Amino acid sequence: MKIVPAHTYFPVIAYHDMNLERSDHLPSIGYIQVHAYTSRARLPLEDVAITVTASDGTAIAMRLTDRSGKISPVAVPVPDLAAGQTPDTGEIPYTPVNLYARKQGFEQIESENLQVFPDTVTDQNLEMIPLSELPEAWDKTEIFNTPPQNL
């Protein structure tokens, strides 16, 4: 299993404990991991509420980070690895998911269209900014959108 960075703006880690059924359309499993922290020193944040959803808004997993700022990896149904082996098929070889991070006293984060690939752990880091550093942004949500890859 490979680990790839999902986005350079923030780190996050998550695991999924639901039974996932494979289907003809999505026969494989990929994972997304989350690590939530504050400051450039990457001080871990405990009790950050993490929600991972499918692109249609369906919840895949909801977790709270532990004292190391992490959650267990979340399993996500993804297209079979073979889908990405042939060029110009029109099929994307990953499943896009959205991730939401909330903690009282910190700026909220939304990360849209994260790409989860088969047999791969997508590593998502989240740098949470204390609202005391942004008093005018008490209700602000930082939104990051991952553009599609030309695969």
**3-class secondary structure, 146:** coil
Flag whether the pTM goes above 0.85. no
Residue found by looking up tokens 């039974």 in the block: 19
User: Cα 45 from chain centroid?
Assistant: 16
| CATH number belonging to domain 2-139 | 2.60.40.1120
Predicted pLDDT of residue 77 = 93
Domain ranges of the chain: 2-139
Copy the structure tokens of residue 95: 């499943």
Query: Where is pLDDT greater, at 5 or 46?
Result: 46
Backbone angles phi, psi at 22, to 5 degrees: -85, 150
pLDDT tens, position by position, 81-124: 877 677 767 778 899 999 999 999 888 999 999 999 999 999 99
Distances (CA, A) of 108 to 45, 48, 49, 68, 105: 13, 10, 10, 19, 9
Copy the structure tokens of residue 29: 């499993």
3-state secondary structure 91-136: CCCCEEEEEEEECCCECEEEEEEEEECCCEEEEEEEEECEHHHCHH
Dihedral sign (CA 56, 57, 63, 69): positive
- Checking if the pLDDT of 43 tops 80, the result is yes
